[in-house]
Structure 1
Amino acid sequence: MSTPPIPASDAVPSAPGDGGADADSAAGESVRTVVVAVAANLAIAVAKAVAAVITGSASLWAETAHSFADTGNEVLLFIGLRRSDREADARHPFGYGQERWFWAFLAAMGIFVVGGVLAIQEGIKSLLHPEALESVWVGVAVLLVSAVLEGISWRQAHKQLKAEAARNDRTLARQLKRGSDPTAATVFLEDSAALIGLALALAALGLHAWTGSAVWDAVSSILIGLLLVAVAWRLATRNKALLIDESAPPNVLENVREGITSDPWVADAPEVTAVFVGPRLLLVSARVVATREAADAPAERLTEAVAGLTARLEARPGIARADIVVVPASNPASAPDPSTAP
């Protein structure tokens, strides 16, 4: 008589917020966010450059550098989106999702150098060699129009970020901090910095015109530069964390653990790890303890049970690969950590 197969369960959930349809929708939304941002920032950059030449305003020159930097950075984000969509192959078995983080990291460096450093340099130059302000109303008009265009781009990025946060049951701030797709976060932070920078530039133009002192303009330019440096640092550190295999959040790990232990033959899963190998894509590794019945079954039956659980995990959206290892209950890796004992 043949030995019956070890019972299995189909209740293996995917990582929260990483559903296939949601992932496809998020990818399309990312493209829209970047396209809107590129169109808005290119128009803004040209308008600011013309206004900066006419007025001679240091803060307008800083904003010009900022907008050209944003445009270039969003082109980098678009390249990352396209390259990361390629299918997995023999050289990259988990796909090209990490390309998105690489290009977003380059975008952060662009904000730092082209936006932040040049703005600070322009502010220092204006402090040392102040120039008279001309055609103030041209600068004011351009900044107001820029604020409207930036607002359109900001709204699109905010909409996508809010939707991603809702899918993951997170606050907007938490999504900015822990989201695995950098696209919306990068555009959102860039546009938020741009709107603050526009407010600073408008205030500087008004104070320069009112007092006749170029110090206001210069200080505004330096503040805009420092703001961009802070944004660049925030984005660079987030993408660096993802590039060096950041772990999935605790709620995702718990979700995966529950899916594994729902199989009747699994007594416990003492060790479950998952790292991001792309936006909304995880590599899962788990050590599991089999029930006494499963452990006493023929080896081929246990092997089939492990293969079945692995296949069910990998069939779920959001999981690129799952590695399941069966360990005895007495295995040190499955024993409690003595340092955590009461």
Structure 2
Amino acid sequence: MTSPTIPSESTGGESLLTVLVALVANGLLAAAKSAAAVATGSASMVAEAAHSWADTGNEVFLLVAERTGRRPRDEEHPRGYGRSTYIWSLFAAFGLFSAGAVVSLWHGVTELTGEEAAPSYTVNYIVLGVAFVLEGVSFAQATRQVHGAARHFGLHPLRFVSRTSNPTLRAVFLEDAAALLGILLAGAGIALHQLTGEAVFDALGSIAVGVLLAFVAVFLMHRNMEYLLGEGLTPELRSGVIAQLLEHPQIERLTYLHVEYVGPQRLFVVAAVDLTGDDREGDLAVRLRTVEAEIERNPLIEDAILTLAPPDEPALTP
């Protein structure tokens, strides 16, 4: 059990680097967009500033999630602290909804009936152009990590993003993708305002950014809640766990298996097994505890509980 046969999604170092790159990019952009929004009065730029400030706060939450989720298990938390990652990521998603989507929607709606401003289009275009480049750098880092892990699992990158147990990677990837699309929406609203002279298009750009952020935030909140409630494994990963257990030299047969995530790439395993040999009951109990400890040496398995399999139950196969 020293070399895991269950495929690993990514390393913690990669996730941490992805979050740090996004934090730096969003912090710089939030300041620049805020200055442009104050200087020009553009509704779309206000929405983009709110978006970047929300993303900056979210990255702080995600850094806390990465840090707390890595704490080793103890007597009070025998299955570790991995689920705290989903809690902090849930806070981040709610922050995106409240500080990003709601502000963008509210400002866009109020600007529909407000007085028409005369923004400096050049300033807006320059800030949005720089923002697109910086967001692109952050998105490229997240995309590299996603594509590498998706190939490892044989999945389409977007399907991997939806199914991954790593909430920080999912959040950074989707937030950066939304940021790039939001810049295009804001730019389109500002350009239509310039071409037609109608400020309503600028306000509609703000509303479009708000709708986009709301969709991403609700999706992220839903996925984090699913993992907090005990997300199970896909059939492919479940087969991998069965195969790994049966590779143990002391496990002869497996009749029951329950596996759930207790954190990013952290599994809680309950299994009913037949051990090799014909030991007495007391000796079997000792051997079961020994096998559990050996299984837990796998970095992907946080906690394992083994019981004896009833003789009349059918065996599980990978």
Name the TM-score, length of structure 1 as normaliser: 0.86
CA offset digits 1:203-256 (Å, max 9, x no partner): 111110111101111111111101000000111111111111111222222112
Could you say which residue in structure 1 is the equivalent of 2:297?
Answer: 315
2:33 paired with 1:48: yes
**Compared CA separation, residues 81 and 335, structure 1 to 2 (3 A):** closer
CA offset digits 1:293-312 (Å, max 9, x no partner): x4x54324433443343232
Contact kept, 8 Å, 1:260 with 1:309, in 2: the verdict is no
2:15 paired with 1:15: no
User: Which letter does structure 1 place at the counterpart of 2:232?
Assistant: S
CA apart distance, 1:269:
1.7
Q: Equivalent of 1:70, from 55, 59, 62?
A: 55
CA apart distance, 1:263:
4.7
**Compared CA separation, residues 153 and 118, structure 1 to 2 (3 A):** same
2:177 paired with 1:186: no
Answer with 202-211 or 159-168: which moved more. 159-168
Q: Which runs of 4 or more aligned residues in structure 1 lie more than 4 Å from their structure 2 counterparts after TM superposition? A: 10-14, 263-267
Could you say which residue in structure 2 is the equivalent of 1:328?
Answer: 310
CA offset digits 1:244-295 (Å, max 9, x no partner): 111122222211212223456645322211111111111100122457xx4x
CA apart distance, 1:14:
4.3
2:208 paired with 1:223: yes
Q: List runs of 5+ in structure 1 lacking aligned partners.
A: 1-9, 337-342
**Compared CA separation, residues 312 and 12, structure 1 to 2 (3 A):** farther
**Cα distance in 1, alignment partners of residues 295 and 153 from structure 2:** 19
Q: Equivalent of 1:121, from 106, 112, 115?
A: 106
Contact kept, 8 Å, 1:266 with 1:288, in 2: the verdict is yes
Could you say which residue in structure 2 is the equivalent of 1:111?
Answer: 96
**Cα distance in 1, alignment partners of residues 45 and 253 from structure 2:** 62
SS at match of 1:325: strand
Q: Equivalent of 1:279, from 240, 264, 285?
A: 264
**Compared CA separation, residues 165 and 49, structure 1 to 2 (3 A):** same
User: Which letter does structure 2 place at the counterpart of 1:306?
Assistant: L
Contact kept, 8 Å, 2:2 with 2:297, in 1: the verdict is no
CA apart distance, 1:59:
0.6
CA apart distance, 1:29:
1.4
| Aligned-pair identity (%) | 40
Name the TM-score, length of structure 2 as normaliser: 0.92
Could you say which residue in structure 2 is the equivalent of 1:90?
Answer: 75
Could you say which residue in structure 2 is the equivalent of 1:158?
Answer: 143
CA apart distance, 1:17:
1.2
Counting matched residue pairs gives 316
User: Which letter does structure 2 place at the counterpart of 1:16?
Assistant: P
Contact kept, 8 Å, 2:104 with 2:207, in 1: the verdict is yes
2:182 paired with 1:197: yes
**Cα distance in 1, alignment partners of residues 5 and 261 from structure 2:** 14
Q: Which structure has the larger Rg over C-alpha atoms?
A: 1
SS at match of 2:259: strand
Contact kept, 8 Å, 1:11 with 1:259, in 2: the verdict is no
The equivalences for 1:215-294 within 5 A come to 215-263=200-248, 266-289=251-274, 294=277
User: Which letter does structure 1 place at the counterpart of 2:307?
Assistant: V
**Cα distance in 1, alignment partners of residues 24 and 4 from structure 2:** 39
**Cα distance in 1, alignment partners of residues 118 and 274 from structure 2:** 75
Could you say which residue in structure 1 is the equivalent of 2:12?
Answer: 27
Cα-Cα RMSD: 2.1
**Cα distance in 1, alignment partners of residues 308 and 2 from structure 2:** 19
Could you say which residue in structure 2 is the equivalent of 1:340?
Answer: none
